[in-house]
Amino acid sequence: MGGDHAPAQTVAGAVAAVRDGVPVLLVGDRELLRPLIPAGVDLPIHHAPGLVAMDTHRPVAAVRATPEPSVTAAMRLVREGDACAAVSCGHTGATMAAGLLVLGRLPGVERPAITLLVPRTDGGRLTVLDLGANVDSRPQHLVQFAAMGHAFAQAVAGLAAPRVGLLSNGEEPGKGDERVREAGPLLAASSLPFVGNVEPTAAFRGACDVLVCDGFVGNVMLKTVEATAEVVTHILREEILHHPSAKAGAWLIRPALRRVRDRTDYTSQGGALLLGVQGVVVVGHGRSDATAVRSALRYAARCAEEGLVDRVERALATLSGGATGPLAAPLAGGEDLQ
């Protein structure tokens, strides 16, 4: 039910996923959803008429509201074993809050992390976390992110030996802000294959496979990628419009530009994962169209098939002692759910 193009595009994406062989259960208002399902498509509906407003600033209250919002109902289906993963393109904060409150955290996880696979220049893909689930992380949280990201890169990105880097403003061990300077030695002392501080430029060239950071800087980084792509495209369009010969050239490279967009648009990869909760939760982009929804559903199915949650749980259990620290108290009021 959530997202800028729901429910028409979300249902169309679900239909496409079913045709791909992914069993899907729609969660939302039956009266609105049923007319959108073509005859002969096996797409059951779990009726949950509640909605989270896309512009709410109080996601925790919203997911606890009555009637139960569809995103909360979806998490409940995962918790009770009626679904193996939940996908939402609705309010990101609400999806995180519902995942956290209904599914709960894995043992050893103090804070879940938004995780994304992004393309690198060397043809590989970089696992980045946290992209905004939390701010003001403590150093040990970055170690937990590293363990979760490492397990994810093995299970989903298909890497036998992913290397872990720590996002920083310089490569030498003394670089970084206070959090990074403290997390470095913890990561070096852990059982993870830690390659040290990594700058964004080096990370995108392949200096590491998993890049960990606090959610504030990670979120700024993610949005800077979007903003840069936008600025470059805008200036390119301007330059092309002012030069007739370039116009013809632009027409010829249109298919290439489209493939560039497909390869750099993370929605085509299925969206982001909320790692660290007791279930597979895919956080799709609010702008998702049917293609993105279909990718997100396939991605969620794949994560479940690969046993991602069990693997993340085992990775956290085998983290070398001390770095994980005691479990924190449950989140109060969701202040750090961004």
Give contact residues for its own copies (rule: CB under 8 A). 57, 119-121, 132, 135-136, 167-170, 172, 174-178, 180, 199-201, 203-205, 213-217, 219-221, 223-232, 234-236, 239-240, 243, 245-246, 248-257, 259-260, 263-264, 335, 338
Which of 152, 204 has the CB closer to its own copies? 204
User: Closest approach of Cβ 312 to its own copies, in Å?
Assistant: 24
Which of 222, 319 has the CB closer to its own copies? 222
Are 165 and 149 spatial neighbours (Cβ–Cβ below 8 Å)?
no
Tokens of 196: 């040290």
Question: How far, in Å, CA of 281 to CA of 299, rounded?
Answer: 10
List Cα–Cα distances, 291 to 12, 157, 186, in angstroms: 8, 21, 41
Which of 22, 229 has the CB closer to its own copies? 229
Tokens of 109: 């996880």
Which of 96, 297 has the CB closer to its own copies? 96
Which of 62, 180 has the CB closer to its own copies? 180
Tokens of 114: 């938004």
User: Closest approach of Cβ 238 to its own copies, in Å?
Assistant: 8
Stated as kind and residue range, the H or E segment containing 116 is strand 113-119
List Cα–Cα distances, 213 to 33, 194, 203, in angstroms: 39, 14, 12
User: Closest approach of Cβ 187 to its own copies, in Å?
Assistant: 17
User: Closest approach of Cβ 259 to its own copies, in Å?
Assistant: 5
Tokens of 150: 């490492």
User: Closest approach of Cβ 87 to its own copies, in Å?
Assistant: 23
Question: How far, in Å, CA of 178 to CA of 108, rounded?
Answer: 23
Strand positions, DSSP E, 138-181? 164-167
Which of 163, 311 has the CB closer to its own copies? 163
